[in-house]
């Protein structure tokens, strides 16, 4: 009879098989009521799951990390039940959990309308209030196919055919409604309290454009109403901060159909883009990197040798010349940097060798995945590759990690999460090399004092990696930087150095990106700061304005002085009221607004206010420069307002 081991190490013995719910009840009535699911020997299961053997058990309540997954999965079923209750002819297909919510795909004769979503959500609340028991049953494969065909659910019958033969066919029902699902689910619909339907979109069956178009209803679900309200507020904030809208309003960039996934940079946006490059160039130079530049298009044979053609070929842009040679536009920079390393004889005394490039790369992304600066087809990487001996992995990786974190702090990102990704299913190199690589990278992360979580199977095809995830001002996470240990690619491409015993050895190569994509990083910055970029990054740091035309000459003089001090400044001498001009430049997120009237001219002063509306009083142009320099040198950690 089963002995159940609980998370605190205590054990409970039972005289007969028991369900997860029974174990919860034996601990306490409160836990029985709060139980949403269980985790048995690491596997997530229903509370009705029968324990007939010794096992470890966690009771999943709303405080458990797995709670949201179970709630969202169950809310997807609630959605499908409501749709079929209101629209009996609708067929349900698949309904997975996604980040922050869930969706369900439906086949129906007409498009769902916003009014339909309101009615569906109301019906979902009705079913939740009814606290319908959720029950699981297992059917024979052929019986399940016939069952769903009898309901007119032909998509479900097709799904069953794709389920591996060794997996059970499980069905979940609530209130007379039944769906095919592997679970687990909450014990009753009354556990589902905080949810909202968000939108309807089109989606191809099985994600294949050759198949029929379905309707996808998206929803979100949370533990409680407060969490739901907070999430909806974040969405509202995210909409206000949308970099695509702000990019137009601030005249930074635009995109158009003739160049899908590519950016048309306007002068102000390009100035910010170049400021990012200038900043990173200075940081890299101080850290011992040498800047290089490799061709954007190289022969297919090089990409075959590197392994990219096999693993990444479908995402590469290619062209064929009249002599029938096939070239690929580079999707990444590493093979080019290896070619530069190979020129000349390298000694172990030369290592580390650090190559950096602001390399333009092209990768094919499906049109539906494109999203402003965040997901593009043509972008610039702050890419670097460091060639080292195996003994140097830890020391050099620690230096890179410290550089990464220092740079993120300069941009206002102090909350950085780190994930360790190990070997993926499709990879190059033997397991012994992968084991050494993974151990070396984990040792380096620990030596740098990093806490990291595991991200199993998500490493690059040539080596494990650390991923650096930045949390922005409204709590969203953005994966940006990466550090990868590569004991495979240099050898595949014939890179060697001479060791201390005069023997040829293959170097280790560290792949490193900090911004990742400059386009995406700028998009993140725009949204993080809601367009109010730090003064040191702003394309216009200050505007000098007159009140009447009597101050025109003085405004020009002040503007010229500030420009000569290296500031990015413009003059606004328009025949408009000064309040109108202040508002216009505030909307353009200009950090400092300088106004000169007759009194300021007479005293050689300017009146200074910030884009947030704070009046800093009057000061001489020289004083303004001196105080602003402190802000610029501190990367905005100290402002004139301080």
Work out the pLDDT band at 604, boundaries 50, 70, 90.
Answer: very high
- Using CA atoms, how far apart are residues 161 and 92, in angstroms rounded to an integer? 16
* Same domain flag for 47 and 90: no
Q: Which residue has the higher pLDDT, 58 or 488?
A: 58
* Same domain flag for 19 and 109: no
List pLDDT tens digits, range 155-170: 888 888 778 877 888 9
Residues 186-213, mean pLDDT to the nearest whole number? 90
273-277 contact pairs (CB < 8 A, 24+): 273/518, 273/522, 275/536, 275/537, 276/515, 276/518, 276/521, 276/522, 276/537, 277/358, 277/382, 277/518
List pLDDT tens digits, range 610-629: 999 999 999 999 999 999 99
For the domain that residue 345 is a member of, what is the CATH number?
Answer: 3.30.930.10
Task: Check pLDDT > 90 for residue 127.
Answer: yes
Residues 596-619, mean pLDDT to the nearest whole number? 96
For the domain that residue 176 is a member of, what is the CATH number?
Answer: 3.30.980.10
**Cβ(199)–Cβ(218) below 8 Å:** yes
pTM above 0.75, yes or no: yes
Q: Which residue has the higher pLDDT, 211 or 519?
A: 519
Residues 101-117, mean pLDDT to the nearest whole number? 94
* Same domain flag for 446 and 579: no
* Same domain flag for 336 and 427: yes
Residues identified as active-site? 334, 363, 381, 383, 385, 465, 511
- Using CA atoms, how far apart are residues 261 and 66, in angstroms rounded to an integer? 36
* Same domain flag for 225 and 77: yes
Q: Does 233 reside within a domain? A: yes
3-state secondary structure of 291: strand
Residues 630-642, mean pLDDT to the nearest whole number? 80
Task: Check pLDDT > 90 for residue 541.
Answer: yes
Q: Which residue has the higher pLDDT, 85 or 312?
A: 85
Task: Check pLDDT > 90 for residue 385.
Answer: yes
Q: Does 234 reside within a domain? A: yes
**Cβ(80)–Cβ(102) below 8 Å:** no
Distances (CA, A) of 381 to 204, 361, 387, 403, 516: 33, 7, 19, 17, 6
* Same domain flag for 137 and 11: no
Work out the pLDDT band at 642, boundaries 50, 70, 90.
Answer: low
3-state secondary structure of 628: helix
Mean pLDDT for the chain overall: 93
Q: Does 517 reside within a domain? A: yes
Work out the pLDDT band at 432, boundaries 50, 70, 90.
Answer: confident
**Cβ(543)–Cβ(582) below 8 Å:** no
**Cβ(506)–Cβ(388) below 8 Å:** no
List pLDDT tens digits, range 471-503: 998 888 999 999 999 888 899 999 999 999 999
* Same domain flag for 546 and 521: no
* Same domain flag for 55 and 72: no
- Using CA atoms, how far apart are residues 94 and 103, in angstroms rounded to an integer? 8
Residues 315-344, mean pLDDT to the nearest whole number? 94
**Cβ(594)–Cβ(571) below 8 Å:** no
Work out the pLDDT band at 561, boundaries 50, 70, 90.
Answer: very high
* Same domain flag for 50 and 83: no
% residues pLDDT > 90 (the chain): 78
Task: Give which of 137, 130, 126 is closest to 188, Cα–Cα.
Answer: 130
Q: Does 43 reside within a domain? A: yes
Task: Check pLDDT > 70 for residue 304.
Answer: yes
* Same domain flag for 54 and 73: no
Give the per-residue pLDDT at 204: 84
Give the structural domain span for 546.
Answer: 542-633
% residues pLDDT > 70 (the chain): 100
Q: Does 536 reside within a domain? A: no
Q: Does 358 reside within a domain? A: yes
Q: Sheet holding 55-60: strands in order across?
A: 11-13, 3-5, 55-60, 37-40, 43-45
Give the per-residue pLDDT at 168: 84
Residues 7-35, mean pLDDT to the nearest whole number? 93
Q: Does 251 reside within a domain? A: no
* Same domain flag for 194 and 135: yes
Count of domains for the chain: 4
* Same domain flag for 178 and 295: no
Give the per-residue pLDDT at 111: 93
**Cβ(406)–Cβ(286) below 8 Å:** no
Task: Check pLDDT > 90 for residue 463.
Answer: no
Residues 78-97, mean pLDDT to the nearest whole number? 93
DSSP strand E in 269-352: where? 290-291, 297-299, 317-320, 326-329
* HSE-up (13 A, CA, CB side) for residue 153: 23
């Amino acid at each position: 009879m089963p002995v159940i081991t609980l998370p605190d190490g205590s054990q409970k013995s039972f005289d007969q098989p028991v369900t997860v719910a029974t174990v919860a009840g034996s601990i306490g009535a409160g836990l029985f009521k709060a139980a949403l699911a269980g985790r048995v020997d690491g596997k997530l299961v229903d509370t009705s799951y029968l324990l007939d053997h010794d096992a470890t058990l966690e009771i999943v309540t709303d405080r458990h990390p797995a709670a949201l997954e179970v709630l969202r999965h169950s809310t997807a079923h609630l959605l499908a039940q409501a749709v079929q209750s209101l629209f009996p002819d609708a067929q349900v297909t698949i309904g997975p959990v996604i980040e922050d919510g869930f969706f369900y795909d439906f086949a129906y004769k007409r498009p769902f309308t916003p009014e339909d979503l309101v009615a569906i959500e109301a019906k979902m609340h009705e079913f939740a209030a009814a606290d319908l028991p959720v029950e699981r049953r297992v059917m024979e494969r052929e019986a399940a196919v016939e069952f769903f065909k009898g309901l007119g659910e032909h998509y479900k019958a097709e799904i069953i055919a794709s389920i591996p033969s060794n997996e059970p066919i499980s069905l979940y029902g609530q209130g007379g409604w039944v769906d095919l699902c592997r679970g687990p689910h909450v014990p009753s619909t009354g556990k589902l309290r905080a949810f909202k339907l968000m939108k309807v979109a089109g989606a191809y069956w099985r994600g294949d454009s050759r198949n029929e178009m379905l309707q996808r209803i998206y929803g979100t679900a949370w533990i409680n109403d407060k969490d739901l309200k907070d999430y909806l507020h974040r969405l509202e904030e995210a909409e206000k901060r949308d970099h695509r809208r702000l990019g137009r309003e601030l005249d930074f960039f635009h995109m158009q159909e003739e160049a899908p996934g590519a950016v048309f940079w306007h002068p102000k946006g390009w100035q910010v883009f170049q400021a990012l490059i200038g900043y990173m160039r200075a940081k890299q130079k101080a850290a011992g990197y040498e800047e290089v530049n490799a061709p954007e298009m190289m022969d297919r044979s090089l990409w075959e040798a590197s392994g990219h053609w096999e693993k990444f070929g479908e995402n590469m842009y290619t062209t064929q010349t009249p002599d029938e040679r096939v070239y690929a536009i580079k999707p990444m920079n590493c093979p080019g940097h290896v070619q530069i390393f190979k020129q000349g004889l390298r000694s172990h005394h030369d290592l580390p060798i650090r190559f950096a490039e602001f390399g333009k790369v092209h990768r094919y992304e499906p049109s539906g995945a494109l999203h402003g600066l965040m997901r593009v087809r043509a972008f610039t990487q702050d890419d670097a590759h460091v060639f080292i001996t195996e003994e140097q992995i830890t020391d050099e990786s620690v230096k890179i990690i410290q550089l990464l974190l220092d740079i993120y702090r300069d941009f206002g990102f102090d909350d950085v999460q780190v994930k360790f990704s190990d070997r993926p299913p499709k990879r190059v190199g033997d397991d012994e090399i992968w084991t050494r690589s993974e151990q070396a990278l984990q040792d380096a992360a620990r030596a740098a004092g990093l806490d990291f979580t595991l991200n199993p199977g998500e490493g690059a095809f040539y080596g494990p990696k650390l991923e650096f995830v930045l949390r922005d001002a409204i709590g969203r996470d953005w994966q940006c930087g990466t550090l990868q240990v590569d004991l495979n690619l240099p050898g595949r491409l014939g890179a060697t150095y001479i060791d201390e015993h005069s023997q040829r050895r293959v170097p280790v190569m560290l792949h490193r990106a900090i911004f990742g994509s400059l386009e995406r990083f700028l998009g993140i910055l725009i949204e993080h700061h809601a367009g109010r970029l730090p003064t040191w990054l702003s394309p216009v740091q200050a505007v000098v304005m007159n009140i009447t035309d009597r101050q025109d000459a003085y405004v020009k003089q002040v503007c010229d002085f500030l420009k000569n001090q290296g500031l990015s400044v413009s003059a606004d001498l328009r025949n408009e009221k000064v309040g109108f001009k202040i508002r216009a430049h505030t909307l353009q997120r200009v950090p400092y607004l300088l106004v000169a009237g007759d009194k300021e001219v007479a005293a050689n002063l300017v009146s200074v206010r910030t884009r947030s509306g704070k009046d800093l009083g009057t000061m001489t142009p020289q004083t303004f420069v001196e105080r602003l320099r402190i802000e610029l040198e501190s990367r905005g950690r100290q402002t004139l307002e301080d």
